[in-house]
With several copies, the nearest count.
Chain A
Amino acid sequence: APAAGAGPADRPRRALATPATRRLARELGVDINQVPGTGPAGRVTSDDVRAFAARRTAPAPA
């Protein structure tokens, strides 16, 4: 129990998101810190991540 508390990810501008959502972002190759959050207190939801990934990979309209 020494100097914990300050976790490795206590870094500035860390997106607010649950562990499962973070993992989803990594799975989809999305930098979660770029995803705008629509949840409470600006939380990034899994839908936000999916939408972001879809926008990114959506083929440009022909």
Chain B
Amino acid sequence: MGSIKTGTDVVVIGAGPGGYVAAQRASQLGLDVTLIEREELGGTCLNHGCIPSKALISVGDLLYKVNNAAERGLVVKGSVEVDFAKTQEWKETKVIKRLTSGVASLMKAGQVEVVKGTARFTDPHSLEVELNDGGTAAYTFKHAIIATGSTAVNPSFFPLDGENVVDARGALAFREIPPRFVVVGGGYIGVELGIAYAKLGSKVTIVEATGQLLPGTDPDLVNVLMRRLRRLGVTVMLNARASGGLQNGKVKVQDGEGKVHEIEADKVLVSVGRVPYTEGLHLDKAGVRVDEKGFIPVDEQMRTNVPHIYAIGDVCSPVMLAHKASAQGRVAAEAIAGRPSAADWQTVPAVIFTDPEIAYVGLTEAQAREKGYDPVVSRYNFAAVGRALTMGESDGMVKLVGDRQSGLLLGAQMVGPEVSELIGEIALAIEMGAQMEDVALTPHYHPTLSEGILEAALSWMHSIEKAGRK
């Protein structure tokens, strides 16, 4: 065992949205592919990340909506109760399982050999797999794609205990809704899950070390969210530091003035960042270099310093997003097949599934100015968008950033209903090099939320017209 080496064109390590997409694409291009994964197909995203989080969010959403629809004439006589075991079962079987078996079928259809086990390099052209079923297997490969993803930081100031102090993976798997839930870290993962559990019935406190939730996000957007969090009864502590773990059902939090608060908690989610994961991979044996933060540097075709070894997804850069991983996976597969593909997109949209949702793409006003543009910003509030009113969801706005001289659409920042979907139009516009006028003159159906984009583009045009463009 372990001495018989199987040869393959491409070995892909890790079956997350980076790895499985790369494997599928490589097989489509006629390559012989081996995909190695030690857990479930689908990686973090399908099993413990994007997908399960959105499933819980959407259930919480529906509950919250119906409990707040009296003004619209929907009256709950009695109550709407959460059978959380049922919710979790649905999430596991009707959401995750369906998607992961979809991935399995794709792999089968593409004749990708799926190996369940943990891979480690033995030299630049071979690796060994510690099989989940026992034993090892060895592979030689012409090309490798490293797609081992990332893992949650386990901070020494608030160590996970795997039971009541958990990372997002743990929080997504709660068997019961925690009556009191503390979230340490106000990034998107913590805020999304905090809101979900708040809607499902938890008393939620979010502790964020900096002065703003969702650090790095346009404060105009976050302000709208903050108002909603207040209405949801979520406590937000800014400039505050939790430490010391959960002691006697309490979390110690030091606020900006140095005062220490004790917050009661049944469960604590620690979400203070994610780091690239290459543990036990023996990258050194393959000669693959990592940077000081542990990321694997790559070129536009996703090649590492070892030209026949590629890296994609969370493991190769701090923009840790599933669709970026998938797009990079396609580029790597195509590059291996000799195609002139490159990861040269202009923009990667960002979406946060809060309530209301937040989405942005391209440049903010400040970023545009830094790049030497002469940015003009227009805004349009959802309170004036007919469709938003008919949905009873009128908080939020669309901000569009355009360049005065060229009229180019440079970016959008949005907060409001369904902006997760609206951002698609802007991402395409930016990739196409659209001018604001292109958006303003494209008919948008009435009544839709995307009229918010149309109106912002129109008002941008009209403000330029008033000011005089040339």
Contacts and interface: CB of A to CB of B under 8 A. Distances in A.
Given A23-B340, A23-B341, A5 B347 contact: yes
A41 interface: yes
A3 to B, nearest CB: 5
A2 B408 contact: no
Interface string A4-34: 1111111010101111101100110100000
Contacts of A23: 340-341, 437, 441
A5 B431 contact: no
Interface SS of A by simple majority = loop
B346 A14 contact: yes
Interface in B326-382: 340-352, 358, 360-364, 367, 371
B406 A7 contact: no
Given A4-B349, A19-B438, A41 B343 contact: no
A5 B431 CA distance: 12
Nearest to A44: B433
Given A5-B347, A40-B435, A43-B433, A16 B367 contact: no
A9 B344 contact: yes
24 contacts: A2-B187, A2-B350, A3-B319, A3-B350, A4-B319, A4-B324, A4-B349, A5-B363, A7-B443, A8-B317, A8-B344, A9-B344, A10-B346, A10-B363, A10-B371, A16-B408, A18-B431, A19-B438, A19-B441, A20-B407, A20-B434, A20-B441, A26-B341, A43-B433
Q: Which 9 A-B pairs rank lowest in CB-CB distance, beginning with the nearest?
A: A19-B441, A26-B340, A4-B350, A20-B437, A41-B406, A16-B433, A1-B350, A1-B352, A20-B435
Interface of A: 1-10, 12, 14, 16-20, 22-23, 26-27, 29, 39-43
